[in-house]
A = this chain, B = another copy of it.
Amino acid sequence: MNKKNLMTLADIAKLANVSTSTASRALRDNPVIKQATRDLVQGIAKEHNFKVNVTASKLRTQKTNTIAVVVMLERKSGQVISDPFLMEILGTIADELTKFGYDMLLTTTKTATHDWYSYYYESKRADGLIIIGQGEHDQRVESLANTKLPFVVWGTEIHENSYTTIGSDNRKGGFLAVQHLIKQGCKRIAFLGDINHNEVEQRWLGYQDALKEADLPIEHGLQIKTDFTSNDGYSKLRDHLLIEDQGIDGIFAVSDAIALGASKYLFEQNIDVPQKIAIIGFDDIAMSEFCSPSLSTIKQNTAAGGRLLVKILLNKINQQPVKSQLLDVEVVQRQSSSR
């Protein structure tokens, strides 16, 4: 027993009258050790509630069995942070890592160091990295590509071969959303979102795909740069609907939060949703079902995303070949777009 009263492997070995090597092997069920001995050692360990000191183990084995997850949210404070999708994907990742015997280290980019390679890998804090929300093009992520750090990114594939990305099929999502609005009879559909954001850019491409398919003109004036907040959804719609154009009959907002902000404005203006203007969002947050009118949206498969991120990363760590993947999305139709 050491100072702190915690059992050590040597204590267990002594109690079992074996060497520490035997004890170590016995505890991990190494078949080279006689079954009886294994039982004995394991029994004593359990009896004394012995737990291996993972720090010592990490040092010796040179594996941390830990994955760091970086959540990128330094953007104009408090926006992304309230995104319920984030919590859900984090939860899934945490559970999935646990399942594989890994611990999860969490950081946001707000205060943390920016040299992830040094901090996590060189310092031996983690075996790999998951980056959530690559947002706009980011130098820190780019530069990781040249290091030995195994990592995967949630987001959109940018440069073909530079790193591995897992994300929703945003282009298809945009396509489905707009196709749906068109089916409901919409002809002039506004796009609310900031296409500097990689994922939004894909949704914007999907928007165009759908218009083209329906032989509708693409008017760039209908693409309104909007932050990921209800607030901005509200005010951008106010400014643009009044000044530029009264002929809009549909809105595709790149997040439910934006859509709800927009809805509020329409409600205040007594503009009928969905009859005069139909709306569809993106994400399917919990609230969408419970506002009035309830909000149609594009649903991402967050749980599958979390699981895939972990799987791909662990494969990578084990030197197996991996490639970027897109997750399917689907339309959830509710009142806001049902004419």
Chain B residues with CB under 8 Å of A58's CB are 55
Shortest distance from the beta carbon of A131 to any chain B beta carbon, whole Å: 15
* Copies of this chain in the oligomer: 2
Give the chain B neighbours of A86 by CB distance below 8 A.
87
A24 CB to closest chain B CB (Å) equals: 15
Q: A248 interface residue, CB < 8 Å from B? A: no
Q: How far is the CB of A174 from chain B (nearest CB, A)?
A: 23
Contact A105 B104 (CB under 8 A): yes
A128 to chain B, nearest CB (A): 15
A145, CB-defined interface residue at 8 Å: no
**Residue among A111, A260, A286 with the highest chain B CB neighbour number at 10 A:** A286
Query: Chain B residues with Cβ under 8 A from A62's Cβ?
Result: 4
Q: Decide if B82 touches A286 in the complex (CB within 8 Å).
A: yes
Q: Which of A25-33, A94-102, A238-246, A324-332 contacts B (4 or more CB under 8 A)?
A: A94-102
Q: Which of A53, A59, A287 has the most CB of B within 10 A?
A: A287
Residues 258-277 of chain A: 1 if any B CB is under 8 Å from the residue's CB, otherwise 0? 00110110011000000000
A–B Cβ pairs within 8 angstroms, 20 of them? A51-B118, A71-B94, A81-B88, A82-B87, A91-B108, A95-B112, A103-B107, A104-B105, A229-B286, A230-B290, A231-B290, A234-B290, A257-B287, A257-B290, A261-B290, A264-B291, A264-B294, A268-B292, A287-B291, A292-B292
Chain B CB within 8 A of A9 CB: no
B285 near A82: Cβ-Cβ < 8 Å: yes
Contacts known (A53-B124, A82-B88, A98-B111); A230 close to B106, Cβ less than 8 A: no
Tell whether A108 pairs with B123 under 8 Å between CB atoms, given A82-B87, A286-B82, A287-B260: no
* A1: Cβ under 8 A from any B Cβ: no
The answer to whether A73 touches B91 (Cβ under 8 A) is yes
A267 partner residues in chain B, CB cutoff 8 A: 292
In the complex the two chains form, what is the Cα distance from A6 to B83 in whole Å? Answer: 38
Given known pairs A55-B64, A94-B108, the reply for A287 and B230 (CB within 8 Å) is yes
Q: Does A311 contact B (CB under 8 A)?
A: no
A36 is an interface residue with CB less than 8 A from chain B: no
- CB-CB under 8 A from A230, the residues of chain B are 286-287, 289-290
- A52 at the binding interface (Cβ < 8 Å): yes
Contacting residues, chain B, for A257 (C-beta < 8 A) = 286-287, 290
Is A49 interfacial (CB 8 A cutoff)?
yes
Task: For chain A, give the interface size range.
Answer: 35 or more
Q: Which 7 A-B pairs have the closest CB atoms?
A: A51-B122, A230-B290, A106-B106, A95-B111, A98-B111, A82-B84, A87-B87
Chain B residues near A323 (CB, 8 Å)? none
Q: How far is the CA of A62 from the CA of B55 in the complex (A)?
A: 9
Residues of B within 8 A of A56 (CB): 59
A68 and chain B: residue at smallest CB distance: B103
What's the least CB distance linking A7 to chain B, in Å? 8
Complex interface: chain B residues within 8 A of A83 (CB): 87
State A289–B91 Cα separation when bound (angstroms). 27
Q: Please determine whether A124 and B54 come into contact, CB atoms closer than 8 angstroms.
A: yes
Measured between alpha carbons, how far is A233 from B107 in the docked complex, in Å? 34
Is A14 an interface residue when CB atoms closer than 8 A count as contact? no
Tell me, in angstroms, the Cα distance from A4 to B123 when the chains sit together: 13
